Amino acid sequence: MKPSSVLQTLLVVLALLLVGACAPATRPTDTRHVTQYRVQDGKTGITGQVLFKESGMPLRDAYVNVYPDTLSNLLGPSQFISSPTDAEGRYLITDVPPGTYYVVARKRISGQPTGPLSPGDYFSEHQRISTEVVAGKLAVVDLPVVPIKAPMFFKRSVGEQRTDTGIRGVLTDENGKPVPGSFAIAYVNDDIKRAPDFASTLTDQEGRFVLYLPKGGTYYLAARIHAWDMPRPGEPYGLYGNGEPKPLEVAEGQFIEGLRLVMRPFEGEYKPGKSRRPY
């Protein structure tokens, strides 16, 4: 092959690599990306309405939380929070730097802007809503909410608390295909019919997760796609073990690599109001 041909081939390969490196990350399939904007006095941020999903009526005194990523499963403190929505359910959050964000609406009966959600509170559903904040524009994001019928599934999550101990792995379905937008959960004992002790980061498009743990020890693992309520029949659910919880030893200061959890349709009985019990 002539030197000129070799050079042309190398340039083509380099161009393809650059295109791949610059390609935007694919969002999980359960994310709805909103790209509606309006200009208002040069403000930069996010605005919209919080509405009852069933009736379409506005919800007053709700709070809107803005997260920069999904490491915390969109639970806990957010980077930005709105003032209470007005009588028309409208909110406005300004001075949000340009970038991609996830937007969640919540209203607690207590009137508090933060804290655990309880039955009777309202929240925007599991489908994640993201938007791109553009300088000099307001991203318009309307948020339909539904009532909480059972307590939130997690009592705490360490997805955003990085440690030197944990588990890296992948969640797949029965056919070996990755399950994006899901998470692994860990328990410190084999009583897994309760809220988990720890949760991983959300899986990416390849089904990969990272589960950070506070220390080495014995853990029991499962996998979910929702952060509340117990699994319903047919919902993908994973368990480390052959039908029964199997202990996994994690060494202090080390990561178990390449663990695979298979998520299969849940076959247990659904019990309303038992959200703290996986099945």
Q: pTM to 2 decimals?
A: 0.54
Residue partners of 113: CB distance under 8 A and separation at least 6: 63, 81, 84
Residue 177 inside a domain? The answer is: yes
- Give the domain range for residue 203: 166-265
Where are any strands of DSSP class E within 24-148?
Answer: 31-34, 37-38, 45-52, 63-67, 80-81, 90-94, 99-107, 122-124, 128-133, 138-140, 143-147
Distances (CA, A) of 163 to 160, 201, 207, 248: 10, 13, 21, 18
The tokens for 214 are: 């506070």
Domain identity same for 124 and 173: no
Q: 75-83: which pairs have CB atoms within 8 A and are 24 or more residues apart?
A: 75/152, 75/154, 75/157, 75/227, 76/157, 76/160, 77/114, 78/104, 81/113, 81/114
Domain boundary among 114, 147, 180: 147
Quick one: pLDDT at residue 127? 65
Which of residues 222 and 30 earns the better pLDDT score? 222
Residue 142 lies in a domain: yes
With beta carbons less than 8 A apart as the criterion, state whether 45 and 96 touch.
yes
* CA dist., res. 32 & res. 188, Å (int): 35
Tell me if 270 is assigned to some domain. Answer: no
- Let me know: does 5 contact 157? Beta carbons within 8 Å: no
The verdict on 45 and 141 lying in the same domain is yes
- The confidence score (pLDDT) of residue 149 equals 64
CATH number at residue 234: 2.60.40.1120
If asked whether residues 171 and 258 sit together in one domain, one would say yes
173 plus 121 within the same structural domain: no
Q: Largest Cα–Cα distance of the chain, in whole Å?
A: 76
φ, ψ of residue 160 to 5 degrees: the values are -100, 0
Q: Are 205 and 122 within one domain?
A: no
Domain finish residue from 147, 181, 213:
147
Per-residue pLDDT averaged across 69-74, rounded? 72
The pLDDT score that the predictor gives to residue 239 is 94
**Is 80 exceeded by the pLDDT of residue 265?**
yes
Q: Is the pLDDT of residue 204 over 90?
A: no
Pairing of strands 63-67, 90-94: unpaired
* Same domain for 108 and 59: yes
Structure confidence at residue 161 as a pLDDT band (50, 70, 90): low
Average model confidence (pLDDT) across the chain: 81
The answer to whether position 5 is within a domain reads no
User: Token pair for residue 190?
Assistant: 């084999």
Mean pLDDT of 208-231: 86
- pLDDT tens profile 208-218: 999 999 999 99
8 found inside a domain? no
pLDDT band at 57 (very low <50, low <70, confident <90, very high): very high
Residue 207 lies in a domain: yes
Domain boundary among the residues 80, 113, 147 is at: 147
**Does the residue 2 lie in any domain?**
no
Whole-number pLDDT of residue 192: 86
User: How many domains, the chain?
Assistant: 2
pLDDT tens column, 80-135? 999 999 999 999 999 899 999 999 999 988 888 877 677 788 988 656 899 999 99
Q: What per-residue confidence (pLDDT) applies to 261?
A: 96
Rounded CA gap, 180 and 172, in Å? Answer: 9
Whether 257 and 188 share a structural domain: yes
Q: Is 141 inside a domain boundary?
A: yes
